[in-house]
């Protein structure tokens, strides 16, 4: 391989290439080499996570892409602000935290069905995966970025409204700082519940979205799959005799497992189906691991 400077380019413009099959020329056009800091894979993964979150929320896209996510955010905000406003007048709690999570559950499901296909389906449909993997990130980095994006976004629905409700109640107390300290364990339970729910629902939505490049199909499958799973678990519970088998089959239901988690954390005296909260958390972790394994199998080659 021969290196020519700019002054030598004109001399070779009309020269016939050598007869050798392996031939190439590098022309120094005066480009300066990058001498700044190289941020590496970690920064690349975080950059992809931020980009994925913006894309899922419709940022830098048409206004129609922003309607559904921001309507869900408005509904979630009202779900937290309305109880705080009413409690400021009546002077007592009108909703328990486990009931609050049950109220948010439908919004969380719609939100995941909206954003999860946006995170994966577009890349498959537009055939840009090879472009991603030609850069600093690996296939595993790509999955980590997408899972992180869906988890962080879903956390804004599963935890932030609950935090607003908790904070509003403490500010309404006669001694807000003392009340915050006394109710700090509730905040920890809210964070644990919100994080598990966010990763549980988010990875499930991503797993379904990884099988198609059509966002509309992925949304339909996520919604249809939810109702199908709930119906199937209900039929199994009806068919099976009462006992441990029927009790643990119910853990296949997202509604049951999330309800068991939050009720077990906030009302341990009234366990859900006589199953402790950590069993529900373990069932959620199992689903998360299964969904991540399926996505790993689809995106990371075995060799």
Contact 88, 172 (CB under 8 A): yes
Q: How far is CA 271 from CA 93, 190, 260, in A?
A: 21, 17, 7
pLDDT at 19: 56
H or E stretch including 43? helix 40-56
Secondary structure percentages of the chain, helix, strand, coil, to 5: 75, 5, 25
Contact 272, 280 (CB under 8 A): yes
Its pTM stands at 0.82
CA distance linking residue 183 with residue 249, whole number of Å: 34
From first to last of its 303 residues, the chain has per-residue pLDDT tens of 444 444 444 444 445 555 557 777 777 666 667 677 777 788 888 989 999 999 888 887 777 778 888 899 999 999 999 999 998 888 888 988 988 988 898 899 999 999 999 898 888 888 888 877 776 788 889 999 999 999 999 999 999 999 999 999 999 988 999 999 999 999 999 999 999 999 999 999 999 998 888 888 888 988 888 888 888 888 887 777 776 677 778 888 888 899 889 988 888 766 666 778 888 899 999 999 999 999 998 888 765
pLDDT at 195: 94
CA distance linking residue 284 with residue 303, whole number of Å: 30
Contact 202, 116 (CB under 8 A): yes
Residue 243, both tokens = 């006992």
pLDDT digits (tens, 9 = 90+) for 209-240: 988 888 888 889 888 888 888 888 888 877 77
The label of the residue with tokens 């995941």 reads 112
The SS3 of residue 236 is helix
- What lies within 8 Å, CB to CB, of 220 at 6+ separation is none
């Amino acid at each position: 391989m021969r290196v020519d400077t700019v002054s030598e380019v004109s001399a070779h413009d009309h020269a016939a290439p050598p007869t050798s099959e392996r031939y190439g020329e590098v022309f120094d056009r005066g480009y300066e080499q990058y001498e700044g800091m190289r941020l590496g894979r970690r920064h690349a993964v975080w950059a992809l996570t931020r980009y994925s979150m913006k894309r899922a929320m419709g940022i830098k896209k048409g206004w129609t892409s922003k309607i559904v996510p921001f309507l869900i955010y408005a509904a979630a905000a009202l779900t937290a602000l309305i109880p705080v406003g009413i409690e400021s007048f009546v002077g007592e709690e009108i909703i328990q935290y486990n009931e609050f999570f049950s109220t948010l559950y439908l919004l969380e499901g719609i939100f995941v069905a909206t954003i999860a296909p946006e995170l994966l389906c577009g890349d498959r449909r537009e055939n840009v995966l090879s472009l991603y993997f030609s850069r600093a990130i690996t296939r595993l980095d790509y999955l980590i970025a997408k899972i992180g994006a869906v988890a962080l976004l879903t956390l804004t629905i599963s935890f932030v409204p609950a935090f607003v409700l908790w904070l509003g109640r403490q500010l309404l107390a006669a001694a807000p700082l003392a009340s915050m300290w006394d109710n700090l364990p509730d905040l920890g339970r809210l964070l644990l519940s919100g994080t598990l729910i966010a990763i549980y629902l988010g990875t499930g939505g991503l797993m379904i979205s990884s099988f198609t490049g059509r966002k509309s199909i992925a949304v339909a499958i996520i919604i249809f799959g939810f109702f199908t799973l709930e119906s199937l678990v209900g039929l199994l519970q009806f068919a099976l005799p009462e006992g441990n088998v029927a009790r643990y089959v119910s853990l296949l239901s997202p509604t049951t497992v999330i309800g068991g988690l939050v009720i077990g954390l906030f009302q341990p005296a009234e366990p859900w189906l006589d199953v402790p909260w950590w069993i529900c958390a373990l069932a959620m972790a199992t689903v998360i691991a299964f969904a991540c394994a399926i996505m790993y199998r689809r995106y990371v080659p075995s060799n």
